[in-house]
Amino acid sequence: VFSDSDALRVRSVSSRNRDLFAFGAAPRRHVPKRTQTISQLPAVPSRAEGSEDGVLSPEVYQSIYTRAATKSQTSSSDDSFESSTPWDIGGPQPTIRKSYQAGDFYGRVLDCGCGAGENAVYLAQQQLLQSSLASSTSLPEITGVVGFDLVPEAIDTARTRAIAAEVPNGFLQFHALSCDEIDVPGSPLRDQPKFDVAIDSALLHCLSDTIAQTYVAQLSQLLKPHTGRVFVGCFNDLNPEAGWSNPRRLSEGYLRELFCEERGFEIVDLREVWWDRPSVRGSNMGSCCMAYWMEARRL
């Protein structure tokens, strides 16, 4: 997202405060410990390496996931995959966890830009746990999760994680699919039953304006009319511009213009949150991790 030297200077809140401030309250900050040198940190591509206006090319994402997958196959470390990507924190974002615990995710769930499957596998594990607890829980049931991502290597990793987590066959599906091809002839998502909920955990801010408009319009066609919901987490324009390269910093006005009635949506909630970054990038939460968490209803 920004240079390695900038990343090491980012201020963050302590892990003790993480849950308290995951929905945007002003945290106390401290300077993170430098546990790795700059040369050890995974590289973050710059505009010169395939981005335009803060948008990286598909080839850049493919190269990052290919490198991460190769490293995980040759390393004995459990966190080798996470430490090889600039965004994978080894699990869902704290905001995703809190939204699940609040009962926001239910029925058929679509994980947009699922990456290596951290959200999908987490939801599957939680549903299995809730099912084992039977009537002792009041959380709504998740009946299945479908994830898609542009990069086949990411999808392969997601499937491997699902197997390792012993998720029952049929509960999780993963498809290598571009976000502007999710509702076109031949798409494996087009003929499926409509989804109750879609989760966009840091996909939207990676897209150009043109791709984002197509993606949102097609996404509306995959959600249940009137009751379907989409939840979007994205970096916002409250982050400082200095040193920022990618992904994009999206404004509230941009989100409201994009998720509009003409594209089949009505925004019902928009709040500021913190967005975790891998600790090896020099920051967990802080000034360069400010984000929006948006909920929109399918009209």
Q: Are 247 and 211 in contact (CB under 8 A)?
A: no
Q: For all residues of the chain together, what is the average pLDDT? A: 80
Let me know if residue 59 belongs to a domain.
Answer: no
Strand pairing report for 51-52 and 55-56: antiparallel
Measured CA distances, 32 to 139, 145, 274, 282 (Å): 36, 36, 16, 7
Dist. CA 277–CA 207, nearest whole Å: 19
User: Does residue 295 fall inside a structural domain?
Assistant: no
Cis-peptide into 92, omega within 30 deg = no
Which residues partner with 126 through β-bridges? none
Q: Give per-residue pLDDT as tens, 237-270.
A: 998 888 788 899 999 999 999 999 999 999 999 9
pTM, to two decimals: 0.80
Looking at per-residue pLDDT, the higher value among 76 and 51 belongs to 76
Residue 21, domain member (yes or no): no
8 A C-beta contact, residue 15 and residue 33: no
pLDDT in tens, 78-117: 454 554 688 888 889 999 999 999 999 999 999 999 999 9
Distance CA 151, CA 296 (A): 26
Please check whether residue 159 lies inside any domain of the structure. yes
Per-residue pLDDT band for 184 (boundaries 50, 70, 90) equals very high
Please report the pLDDT score of residue 33 as a whole number: 32
The total number of structural domains that make up the chain: 1
In this prediction, residue 89 carries a pLDDT of 83
Closest by CA to 206, choosing from 58, 6, 43, 2, is 58
Residue 146 in domain: yes
pLDDT at 8 over 50: no
On whether residue 114 sits in a domain, the answer given is yes
Q: Which residue range forms the structural domain that includes residue 144?
A: 90-287
The pLDDT score that the predictor gives to residue 134 is 67
Q: Residue 134 sits in a domain of what CATH number?
A: 3.40.50.150
